[in-house]
Amino acid sequence: MELDKIRELVQLVEDSQIQELELSNRGETIRISKTGGAHVAAPGPQPVPVVASPAPAAATPAPAAAPAGNAPRGDNLKDISSPMVGTFYRSASPDSEAFVRVGDRVEKGDVVCIIEAMKVMNEIEAEVGGVVREITVENAQPVEFGQPLFLVDVGG
Amino acid sequence: MNAHDIEPGAELDLTLLDAQWMGCQLRSLVRVTSTNDKAWEWAAQGAPHGAVVVAVEQSRGRGRQGRRWISPAGVGLYLSMLLRPKAGPSIMAPFSLVVALAVAEQIEAMSGASVGLKWPNDVWLDGRKCAGILLESRSIEAASSDVGPLEGLTPTTPEVSQNPIVAGIGLNVRQPEDGWPLALSQAVSLEEATGLLFDRGGFVAGLLKRVEEAYDLFVTAGFGPFQAAWQARSILRDARVLVHEGDHRYMALALDLDMGGRLRVRDDNGQEKWLQAAEVHLTGTTT
């Protein structure tokens, strides 16, 4: 299947209410899933992992399919994403130290930020351990459900 | 009346306490850093669902984003409740509004005053703020300890929850002797606004019963059953407000609340939005 065609399909799934789409064409089957576990069903001469958001780890090593939006990253980079709609705070108060900075090592379970909704301050913990490579949201900005907040290098 | 395990400290008369599980263990203290801090320390030691900390003075009372909540002796009543809900934090968020409604109803029941609510959870009397509420959720490992629920007072939800919540309330009961600090020009006390003397113990007992009933309803039915009562007290209804969403600030008309406790506003371009996490200020005022 043409790469452009796959990109188109990923976009189609992303923009729709469809959770999962499976297509077979001349012995090649492609399945795009928003709920994780995306993979290409055998048989197929050239398996192509395709991922809609959020990006789960590909089951089979393969050339990057690079779909629009959530491009596959290095295997070691994992997101810590927001579990809720709210306001993102990097510290407990404007005068206190940030919970984490780029380059810091975090352990699974460490508090990395606060998300506030309706004056409930929710401490958010790292779902994975590793080195913080990027903080993808500015302090005190609104965030959506599932929005990546931190990129963590789990091999770092 | 149920048996409650009360550690007395602050001289509060809690004989009226008759909630089923809220306040099943209660620590009544004179002076604390903040009742929320004390509740979290206790939670880490395994305090049960419904454990309550009450104090009459705080040295480091706090509000949203670490803002200081001024809590001098003789002025206030500070109370934190530990909850261990099964649901996660995003589902529990509107409970923040429900606590404010319970505080408003308790003030009304004791004074007959007409109490206002400012989204999401400030309690207003006489055009000024008399109580502030701050909920915090954390993931903590509940220690197995010997301070679990007393026999016969088993909480209605499991002792260990993924995301316990501490709901803290700071209430201005009496005005400071030398008046409110300038920074608190928007503050008012219950006694100032109503001309009545408030029995703090009676207030705690009544409030715990209300919050308990409200919690039991909220966890089964959500914010919906509270929507009309909340809206009837909303001081923002049809008011011009300044909305802060991160760096984005804009003027809008505040409208109503939805079933999830979100505030609907219409900006000056006619765009409507449902707010979940913004700060909203009445025009010309800061709170």
pLDDT digits (tens, 9 = 90+) for A129-141: 999 999 999 999 9
pLDDT at B156: 40
pLDDT at A134: 96
Query: Order of strands across the sheet with B279-282?
Result: B272-275, B263-267, B248-257, B240-245, B279-282
pLDDT for A21 beyond 90: no
Pairing of strands A105-106, A148-153: unpaired
Q: Which residue has the higher pLDDT, A16 or B227?
A: B227
Pairing of strands B25-32, B5-7: parallel
Question: How many whole angstroms separate alpha carbon B83 and alpha carbon A123?
Answer: 15
Query: Residue B68's pLDDT band (boundaries 50, 70, 90)?
Result: confident
Question: Who among A111, A121, A140 is closest to B246 (CB)?
Answer: A140
- Which residues is A78 bridged to in the sheet? A152
Question: Who among B121, B134, B139 is closest to A121 (CB)?
Answer: B134
pLDDT at B207: 98
Question: How many whole angstroms separate alpha carbon B236 and alpha carbon B109?
Answer: 23
Query: Residue A10's pLDDT band (boundaries 50, 70, 90)?
Result: confident
Assess B97–A contact: CB distance below 8 Å, yes or no: yes
Could you list the beta-strand ranges (E) of chain B.
5-7, 25-32, 52-58, 76-83, 115-118, 122-125, 128-137, 165-172, 240-245, 248-257, 263-267, 272-275, 279-282
Provide the 3-class DSSP secondary structure of residue B38: helix
- Residues with Cβ < 8 Å from B38, sequence gap 6 or more? B27, B29, B32, B53, B55, B80
pLDDT for B120 beyond 70: yes
Contact list, A122 vs chain B (CB under 8 Å): 89, 136-138, 163
Q: How many CA atoms lie within 13 Å of A143's alpha carbon, on the beta-carbon side? A: 28
Question: Do residues B86 and B161 lie in contact, with contact meaning Cβ atoms separated by under 8 Å?
Answer: yes
Residue A43: cis peptide before it, omega within 30 degrees of 0: yes
Query: Residue A61's pLDDT band (boundaries 50, 70, 90)?
Result: very low
Q: Which residue has the higher pLDDT, A124 or B63?
A: A124
The candidate with the shortest Cα–Cα distance to B61, out of B91, B28, B31, B101, is: B31
Contact at CB, B66 and A93, closer than 8 angstroms: yes
Query: Residue A19's pLDDT band (boundaries 50, 70, 90)?
Result: low
pLDDT at B251: 97
Assess B136–A contact: CB distance below 8 Å, yes or no: yes
Contact at CB, A117 and B139, closer than 8 angstroms: no
pLDDT at A67: 41
pLDDT at B30: 87
pLDDT at B88: 87
pLDDT for A64 beyond 60: no
Mean pLDDT of B247-275: 95
Contact at CB, B245 and A138, closer than 8 angstroms: no
- Distance to chain B for A75, nearest Cα, Å: 28
pLDDT for B286 beyond 50: no
- Distance to chain A for B96, nearest Cα, Å: 7
Q: What is the overall mean pLDDT for chain B?
A: 87
Question: How many whole angstroms separate alpha carbon B28 and alpha carbon B239?
Answer: 40
Q: Which residue has the higher pLDDT, B143 or B85?
A: B85
pLDDT at B140: 62
The DSSP letter of residue A91 is: B
Question: Do residues B138 and B164 lie in contact, with contact meaning Cβ atoms separated by under 8 Å?
Answer: yes
Lowest mean pLDDT segment, chosen from B36-45, B140-149, B156-165, B239-248: B140-149
The DSSP letter of residue B65 is: G
Which tokens is B247 given? 């760096």
Question: How many whole angstroms separate alpha carbon A93 and alpha carbon B65?
Answer: 5
Assess B169–A contact: CB distance below 8 Å, yes or no: no
Residue B176: cis peptide before it, omega within 30 degrees of 0: no
pLDDT at A123: 94
Query: Can you say whether residue B127 is alpha, beta or left, with left for phi > 0 and alpha for psi between -120 and 50 degrees?
Result: left
Contact at CB, B247 and A141, closer than 8 angstroms: yes
pLDDT for A22 beyond 80: no
Q: What is the overall mean pLDDT for chain A?
A: 75
Question: Using one digit for the tens of pLDDT, what is the confidence trace for A24-54?
Answer: 666 566 667 665 433 333 333 443 444 444 4
Question: Do residues B24 and B48 lie in contact, with contact meaning Cβ atoms separated by under 8 Å?
Answer: yes
pLDDT at B284: 58
Q: What is Dmax (Cα atoms) for chain A? A: 62
